[in-house]
Amino acid sequence: MPLETPPPTIAARVASLNARYRHHSATSVLERALFDPELGQVALVSSFGAESVVLLHLVSVLAPGTPVIFIDTRMLFAETLDYQRRLAETLNLTDVRTIRADERDARRADPDGGLHRTDPDACCALRKVAPLERALAGFDGWITGRKRFQAETRAALEFFENEEDRRIKVNPLAHWTRGDVEDYIVNNRLPRHPLVARGYPSIGCAPCTSPVAAGEDPRAGRWRGRGKLECGIHFVNGRAVRGPLPARGDAGNGLKETTR
């Protein structure tokens, strides 16, 4: 009796998907993630931050019932919480799941609420990484709004990523520029996060986010002075990203979707 061919590994599937969709638009990649049985069950993870409305709007048009996971660290700006509720209603997102750190874990690891000052990595692990890992346990993949232009750590970002041989991570907007994002928001008359107008182009937890001056990198206000660029929910080669990566070669020539 002939042996059954084993199913392709996640790494092989990711390589195949990136080769197939290298020159496709964000919408094509997103449709693949939402409707292709090969990817299984997927969720969108959103911070409801400065640029989140773009991907949330795309999902609302294609499949408004898609599970949307929102991490409430209990340290977010009040404006972010209001914006999350407003967008969910405006875009008719019907399955928004708010997740938080386990209260027992929070009391044990951060009894006085000051962990973000002494060990911001540990605070992110407690309030973001652990809750998200629990929330994604039942999914085969997840969709993010990450883009190459946002940071050095994202300069070579692909549409599809292998997350430690456990899940496929999908980045439909990987090749978009800052101008593409702005054009999409304007052309679709989408509501902006209220803090953007007050000098916050990248928005995280209130204690670890500060306004950005003209000419500064848009993410300069995140963990200012800490040498920290990512919260840890994203991984490179199986490790949580904490700081800049070594310079890499050409970031690729994937065609971005036209939004003008």
Radius of gyration of the chain (CA): 18
The reply to whether 2 falls in a domain is: no
The reply to whether 257 falls in a domain is: no
Residue 249's pLDDT band (cuts 50, 70, 90): very low
CA atoms in the 13 A half-sphere facing the CB of 230: 19
Task: Given the residues 123, 124, 205, 231, select the one marked as catalytic.
Answer: 231
Alpha carbon distance 62, 31 (integer Å): 7
Q: Give the angle subtended at the CA of 71 by the CAs of 227 and 135, to the nearest 5°.
A: 115
The reply to whether 1 falls in a domain is: no
Q: Is 205 a catalytic residue?
A: no
DSSP calls for 193-218: PTTGGGT-SS--BGGGB----TTS-T
How many domains is the chain built from?
1
Q: Give pLDDT tens digits for 70-83.
A: 999 999 999 999 99
Alpha carbon distance 72, 61 (integer Å): 25
Structure tokens at 144: 């993010």
Predicted local confidence at residue 218, as pLDDT: 81
Q: Give pLDDT tens digits for 149-190.
A: 776 767 788 999 999 899 999 999 999 999 999 999 999 999
Which segment of 55-64, 89-98, 166-175, 215-224 scores lowest on mean pLDDT?
A: 215-224
CATH code of the domain containing 98: 3.40.50.620
Q: Which has more confidence, 140 or 37?
A: 140
The reply to whether 259 falls in a domain is: no
The reply to whether 64 falls in a domain is: yes
Domain housing 216: 10-240
CA distances in angstroms from 54 to 51, 143, 232, listed in the order given: 6, 13, 23
Predicted local confidence at residue 246, as pLDDT: 37
**42 pLDDT higher than 70:** yes
Compute the average pLDDT of residues 211-240. Answer: 68
